[in-house]
């Protein structure tokens, strides 16, 4: 299978053989669709996170629960993405949103990767038109249980749990969208945006491995990743796979589910 992260030069060499997906989305409510229409990488299709990569939000399941396999498959088919396609996804935030699509494709056996550096890595002219792709066959496949974690798994001290949110949210200094601040007790802070250089590309693999070692991650076998709503947590999972440590599990409900329960919350820098 393709590495979870590919370079701009790789995409340029293979651009006729892959589907490019723009997965811009903003926590502050700005429209990813509007950003796409204002200018996107040549040939890219827009994948709406809320429409195709998440189910209906609820207190019980979180803000971005995984969609049904049928909904996800219907969205991909409608966009002209087939089971056999290789998808290269990007956004304008270092892949922190696009990672959700890449993770969903990879765990269901498809070929997909993040474009390292995303939109900022490309210096050529952007397109404003929407490419026309014919609907393609995309088969609904169940979400594999071996790559998913429940709220009980995320509170089990036998697992290594990492939190992809910014440190201020982990500490409980601020909470812009969920009912209460803090983190899952025992979770270690590994902000996904700190995996990136200032221009939005991944740090070199030796540096990523060191960052992981610093929070006690040397293997993904017992690892669970979460964030606010199960989106940027995928970025950490892809980073860990890119660093050669295997595949961990996603807690899809993440803090948006946990914070609606009466379970205790940790605060400060201590797990």
With contact defined as beta carbons under 8 Å apart, do 21 and 87 qualify? yes
Distance (Å, whole) CA 165 – CA 135? 36
Q: Which residues pair with 114 in a beta bridge?
A: 5, 89
Helix H or strand E segment including 115: strand 111-115
Whole-angstrom distance, CA of residue 11 vs CA of residue 115: 8
Hey, what's the torsion of the CAs at 271, 27, 89, 227, to 10 degrees?
20
Q: DSSP assignment, residue 147?
A: G
Cβ proximity of 61 and 150 under 8 Å: no
What are residue 62's DSSP bridge partners? Answer: 58
Is 234 in the active site? no
> Of 89, 224, 227, 234, which is the active-site residue?
227
Cβ partners under 8 Å of residue 246, min gap 6: 219, 220, 221, 240
Which residues are known catalytic residues? 227
């Amino acid at each position: 299978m393709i590495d979870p992260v590919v370079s701009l030069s790789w995409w340029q060499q293979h651009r006729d053989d892959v589907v490019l997906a723009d997965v811009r989305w903003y926590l502050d409510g700005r429209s990813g669709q509007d950003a796409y229409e204002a200018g996107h990488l040549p040939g890219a299709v827009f994948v709406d996170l809320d429409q195709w990569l998440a189910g209906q939000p609820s207190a019980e399941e979180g803000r971005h629960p995984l969609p049904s396999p049928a909904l996800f498959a219907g969205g991909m088919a409608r966009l002209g993405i087939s089971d056999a396609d290789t998808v290269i996804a990007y956004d304008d935030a270092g892949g922190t949103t696009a990672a959700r699509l890449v993770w969903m494709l990879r765990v269901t056996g498809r070929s997909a990767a993040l474009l390292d550096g995303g939109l900022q890595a490309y210096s050529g002219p952007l397109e404003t038109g929407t490419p026309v792709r014919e609907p393609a066959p995309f088969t609904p496949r169940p979400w594999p249980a071996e790559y998913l974690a429940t709220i009980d798994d995320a509170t089990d001290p036998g697992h290594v749990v990492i939190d992809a949110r910014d440190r201020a949210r982990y500490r409980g200094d601020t909470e812009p969208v969920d009912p209460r601040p803090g983190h899952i007790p025992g979770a270690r802070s590994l902000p996904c945006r700190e995996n990136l250089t200032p221009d939005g590309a991944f740090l070199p693999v030796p540096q990523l491995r060191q960052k992981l070692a610093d929070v006690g991650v040397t293997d993904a076998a017992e690892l669970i990743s979460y964030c606010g709503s199960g989106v940027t947590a995928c970025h950490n999972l892809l980073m860990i796979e890119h660093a050669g440590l295997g595949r961990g599990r996603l807690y899809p409900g993440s803090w948006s589910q946990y914070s609606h329960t009466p379970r205790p919350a940790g605060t400060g820098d201590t797990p």
